[in-house]
Amino acid sequence: MSAGVSTQQRQREMAAAVAAAAATSGAGRCRLSKIGASRRPPPARVRVAVRLRPFVDGTSGASDPPCVRGMDSCSLEIANWRNHQETLKYQFDAFYGERSTQQDIYAGSVQPILRHLLEGQNASVLAYGPTGAGKTHTMLGSPEQPGVIPRALMDLLQLTREEGAEGRPWALSVTMSYLEIYQEKVLDLLDSTSGDLVIREDCRGNILIPGLTQKPITSFADFERHFLPASRNRTVGATRLNQRSSRSHAVLLVKVDQRERLAPFRQREGKLYLIDLAGSEDNRRTGNKGLRLKESGAINASLFVLGKVVDALNQGLPRVPYRDSKLTRLLQDSLGGSAHSILIANIAPERHFYLDTVSALNFAARTKEVINRPFTNESLQPHVLGPVKLSQKELLGPPEAKKARGPEEEEIGSAEPMAASASASQKLSPLQKLSSMDPAMLERLLSLDRLLASQGSQGAPLLSTPKRERMVLMKTVEEKDLEIERLKMKQKELEAKVLAQKAEDSKEKENHCPTILRPLLHRTVTVAKPLKKAVVMPLQLIQEQAASPNAEIHILKNKGRKRKVESLDAPEPEEKAEDCWELQISPELLAHGRQKILDLLNEGSARDLRSLQRIGPKKAQLIVGWRELHGPFSQVEDLERVEGITGKQMESFLKANILGLAAGQRCGPS
Ligand code: ADP
Ligand code: MG
């Protein structure tokens, strides 16, 4: 008979939805700042391993045959107390038998999840089982047989040293906290003077314990220096089942903080919980009385709620009772939350453990169905967030802001991370820490910065350009614009003067040589005249022609039915231009002009564009903006698509620039 719990697929999906909701609870009150939090993270089932310890000296019943045995690397069977002919079979992610070593457990089930910490994700390892079944041995071990905690710390510190070495993209730091939950009180094991600490949840759904000591550690010796005396602070007592029965839940929290050394200066935080739970034994069999019974009751109450949380997650219930005990509140982001979790259920072979073993296995089987949704906990480093506009509350300053906050916000939103070492960042307002920046906007800024970096931008990164520097740059740009405007005004004045001078000269000529006046009839029929006003060419074209004076540009002329191609350099002067012949622009010249204009539209700077007729600074900016958004213009007529340029304006632009090009050439006579 298979006793592994087979929950319906639909229930599991609902549980996953509840898990995700639980992971992001609080998101409704304030926005998530996790990058990509808007996307649903992929699910990761809670992994469950069972470890059967060997018979140990000094335990009663060591001479009895074992009541449980392994079948393969994932399954085991235990006698069915209701029917001695049958056994109960269980299947898990891994089963470790009596002969398994500490290294087997660590390498098989714990080591693989450590890498997630460096991705900014959370992970947790929980040792569950009745008192005396080997939880502390598995988690802590002995100097000869070190358990999960020393091995994980050793590896993690090594990993962070390598990954955070000079020249690598991220700087890494590791901190540790150590606490126990004893009789529903949260006690700081690194500070024996601290009282009961409160567990809070921030606006991103992270579980926090404000005031909990956090020690930076860079080596295993550092870790031992803090951990060993703290372990002695643990509340232990004697019961009939175990000489040194743990009466409390011990939680070691290791945080890996990563800060990107280059733009866009992201920061990530991965949390690892290593938890040695208090015994799950049945209270009535321990022979506990008085204080011990009270302790046991509290322990079992916490574990009882843990069972309810697992059931609620499995059944997809709308309310998961995390808040009903300190233990489950603390585990909120590990069970049905954001962590990669592994539960190691420790069991003992002795017959008198039988009922506790069955209940531990049943709990483990139910936990196997819980689905977490781990996500990367990533934000921008506080110094990058200078330009974020402060809300009224931030501007009010701490005491006033406190008054302005509602009681709910006070409880939830004010909770700072347990960063004792991060005192500098604690001085920053929550807004400056990005917690309320729109994640979509943040993502766009990040990708823009990444794009600039990938294009080898030499300038200061967009997100990290200090505000003052940006102001100075803006001012310089403004001054330059003013200067350009002034120069343009001056140019106009000079042009007007030249025109006036010309008009005066021609008047004088008419007065002095009336004989060279053409007959009026001749003058009115010339077609070259209206084009004369369009003699201004794009600057580049004039420059090109000046550079290559011998370049031949042809104008196709019509005279009656006869067509003739002539070089512009033909030595015919203007005297004959007013002859009655129709001027047309050659298609080659037209195409050439169009191509030049198109090139200028696609490659010219705003300044270059202003050398074109009918293009002022505003239109030049519009063109550049359109080009950046939509890519190059495929034809000059696309100008009409630029917002702010009408079809009429586009036509007049074409006339002024392309036809102007033709009119700028000297027309040959027939
Ligand atoms: P728990 O923490 O669950 O109460 P312990 O870890 O204290 O249990 O284990 C009880 C006893 O069993 C200890 O003396 C421990 O050394 C021993 N023990 C537990 N697991 C093993 C194991 N896998 N191999 C050898 N001894 C073990
Ligand atoms: Mg123990």
pLDDT tens digit string along 594-629?
888 888 888 888 888 888 888 888 888 888 888 877
Q: What distance in angstroms lies between residue 136's CA and the mean position of ligand 2's atoms?
A: 4
- Give Cα separations from 505 to 107, 495, 501, 516, 533 (angstroms): 99, 15, 6, 15, 18
pLDDT given for residue 477 in this prediction: 75
The hierarchical CATH code for the domain 44-380 is 3.40.850.10
Q: What is the 3-state secondary structure (H, E, C) of 241-300?
A: CCCCEECCEEEEEEEEEEEECCCCCEEEEEEEEEEECCCCCCHHHCCCCHHHHHHHHHHH
Binding residues for ATP: 129-136
Q: Where are the domains of the chain?
A: 44-380, 586-660
Spell out which residues line ligand 1, taking CB within 6 angstroms.
53-54, 56, 129, 131-137, 242, 245-246, 279, 346
Q: What distance in angstroms lies between residue 329's CA and the mean position of ligand 1's atoms?
A: 28
Neighbours of 592 (CB within 10 A): 16
Tell me the percentage of the chain whose pLDDT exceeds 70: 59
Closest C-alpha among 470, 399, 411, 409 to residue 436? 409
In terms of pLDDT, which residue wins out, 645 or 414?
Answer: 645
Q: Which positions ≥6 away from 353 have C-beta within 8 Å?
A: 67, 130, 132, 133, 347
Q: pLDDT tier at 659 (50, 70, 90 boundaries)?
A: low
Superfamily of domain 586-660, CATH level 4: AF1531-like domain (1.10.150.280)
Could you read off the pLDDT of 84-142 as tens digits, one per residue? 788 899 999 999 999 999 999 999 999 999 989 998 888 999 999 998 899 999 999 99
pLDDT given for residue 357 in this prediction: 93
Nearest ligand (C-alpha, residue 349) = 1
Could you read off the pLDDT of 18-69 as tens digits, one per residue? 333 333 333 333 333 344 444 555 677 889 999 999 988 665 555 677 888 8
Q: In terms of pTM, does the model score above 0.75?
A: no
pLDDT given for residue 412 in this prediction: 28
- Considering all CA atoms of the chain, what is the largest pairwise distance in Å, rounded to the nearest integer? 141
* Least confident interval from 194-203, 374-383, 467-476: 467-476
Place of tokens 């090594």: 158
Query: Has residue 315 got a pLDDT over 80?
Result: yes
Highest mean pLDDT (candidates 1-15, 28-42, 340-354): 340-354
Please answer whether residues 273 and 252 qualify as being in contact, where contact means their C-beta atoms are separated by less than 8 angstroms.
yes
The ligand 1 atom at the shortest distance from the C-alpha of residue 244 is 7
Highest mean pLDDT (candidates 418-427, 466-475, 649-658): 649-658
pLDDT given for residue 157 in this prediction: 95
Query: Has residue 565 got a pLDDT over 90?
Result: no
Q: What distance in angstroms lies between residue 100's CA and the mean position of ligand 1's atoms?
A: 13
Q: Tell me what the mean pLDDT of segment 351-375 comes to.
A: 85
Closest C-alpha among 90, 89, 120 to residue 206? 120
Q: What are phi and psi of 107, to 5 degrees?
A: -70, -35
The ligand 1 atom at the shortest distance from the C-alpha of residue 131 is 4
